[in-house]
Amino acid sequence: MGDVGIVTTRFYNWPGSLLLESGARLGPLTIAYETYGELNVAGDNAILVLHALTGSAHIAGRHSPDDRLPGWWDPLVGPGRALDTRRYFVVCANVLGSCYGTTGPASINPATGRPYGLDFPTITIRDMVRTQKILLDYLGVKHLVAAIGGSMGGMQVLEWGFLYPEMVSAIIPIAACGRTTPMQIAFHNVQREAIYADPDWQGGDYYGTPGPRRGLALARRIGTITYKSDPSWTMKFGRTVVDPGKYYQLDGQFEVESYLAYQGRKLVQRFDANAYLYLTKAIDLHDVSQGRGNYTEVWRDFPCSCLGIGISSDFLFPPYQVKEIVRLIKAGGGRARYRELNSPYGHDAFLIEFKQLEAIIKPYLAELRPDLSG
């Protein structure tokens, strides 16, 4: 087993104009991406990894020798690992609307010379996927062994199967859904309201100022609660307090409270509040049947093989949602199977349970393309 070493984030500047699902146009576009391994001559050994809400294109390796933090899926990418870079050309692009290099609300609007802010158009999961297709064409990728991702990444995976089925052999959605539920939308609503309520948000026109730090931090704290499970909170913190001397004081904190504050501060240091608004809205709008017909019918004759992976303790995207996807594909005559991560870590398990993920994903990929697994 080995890591992928030093990896450079690259940028593709696409001069065109993308027609968004809303009817608006956006362009030119910058797409930030990273690649691992080599594309074969046929251009058909690629695996596309799709990231979650506040993720980036940096899934493995380090950006410099002194970089302390490897990519967010580092244990799964590299020679001998689940996404074996001796065999596969692994690609990950930062999504449209984010703030890690791909065009988003913080990018400069060519029409004004200032950041887009709320002039940035509403985007959807399908818009993200169409942007990724532009990148793959540029890279010379002709066919994907698989598209794989968790949470918002899993939603993109599903749309790859609907938008470009001729280009994808298999999809691997993890802890995702075919359409968001009222509960999921409700959680995002209160997170956005936390940002809106911060006076420093300034109607989205806060660039050049510290911005809505308290609002974004609160949004992240709310989100973090949904990413965990009751057992995981108990295992990690129990009822331990930070300062026993303040136990009966209003400003006394349990360790779980301190942790939530830390998570909020950490996100503020690395993420753009407007991007958070746009991406959570894109998740809320996600519905594979939108504009396609009845939800249970759109899965009929689904052309891609599907490996759906749920998480036993997932509170935000419960395993029944992944099971539903698999059931509907099979009922419609397609090929699908379900596997589950048995984990106490809740939704975050797809960023933690690497050994279980490798045991599920690696043999599935070998089965898809035995010519690449020898």
Largest CA distance in the chain: 68
As a whole number of angstroms, the distance between CA 337 and CA 288 comes to: 19
Angle between helices 255-268 and 213-227 (to 10 degrees): 120
Residue with tokens 């990896």: 7
220 is in an annotated binding site: yes
* Tokens describing residue 172: 């691997």
As a whole number of angstroms, the distance between CA 55 and CA 166 comes to: 27
Starting at the edge strand found earlier in the chain, the sheet holding 144-150 runs 10-14, 29-36, 89-93, 46-50, 144-150, 170-174, 305-311, 336-341
The DSSP bridge pattern shows strands 170-174 and 144-150 to be parallel
- The answer to whether 51 is a known catalytic residue is no
- The answer to whether 151 is a known catalytic residue is yes
Task: Kindly name the residue from 84, 284, 314, 343 that is annotated as catalytic.
Answer: 314
192 is in an annotated binding site: no
Task: Kindly name the residue from 51, 58, 188, 347 that is annotated as catalytic.
Answer: 347
Dihedral sign, CA of 235, 267, 71, 326? positive
Task: Kindly name the residue from 98, 107, 151, 313 that is annotated as catalytic.
Answer: 151
Question: Which amino acid, residue 109?
Answer: N
As a whole number of angstroms, the distance between CA 83 and CA 33 comes to: 17
- The answer to whether 347 is a known catalytic residue is yes
Active-site residues, by number, are: 151, 314, 347
Binding positions for substrate are: 220, 348
Binding positions are: 220, 348
